[in-house]
Structure 1
Amino acid sequence: MSDTPVKQNTAAFYGQSVASFAAAMAATAIGIYQLEADPWVRAFLGIAVLYLVTSAFTLAKVIRDRQDASTAHSYGPFEKL
């Protein structure tokens, strides 16, 4: 068994990730809003972007969970962690 410590993300990395995501969503929303198209076309594109974002979050969670499951160890009730 390896005693390698788990790497944690820094607050700066987390903040940069959130800011980047917010900027990308804002730019996409502004782009769709400024698009010279019928309102139903803009609404369709907006829903498509929301679907893409939720799918990306779900995919990231599934990949993370699969990776966690492959590295997790099962300990009995009398074993040390």
Structure 2
Amino acid sequence: MHERRSEEPLSVPPPPRGTIGSTRPPNDVRIGDFVYLDGAYQRVRDMRSAGTATHRVLIFAGREPWVMREARTTYRPIGLL
């Protein structure tokens, strides 16, 4: 059995097909964007304000909502650019 050593980088799968990645602040995320969480790309289905413009609650299908508090790489479908 192979154990991952701490100095080995985590393997991140390629982004969803037909998307372009960019580092975006929470107020620039859109419905339809993808965010990499817990080892998988999650598509934003809906979102809510978290009280400030610098925080967003992102809602996904099949996963609990997640609060985005800082800029993060998101992947936007080319058709939504």
Q: TM-score, normalised to structure 2's length? A: 0.20
Compare CA radii of gyration and give the structure with the larger one: 1
Higher strand share: 2
Normalised TM-score (structure 1): 0.20
Higher RCO, Cα 8 Å, sep 6+: 2
Higher share of residues assigned helix: 1
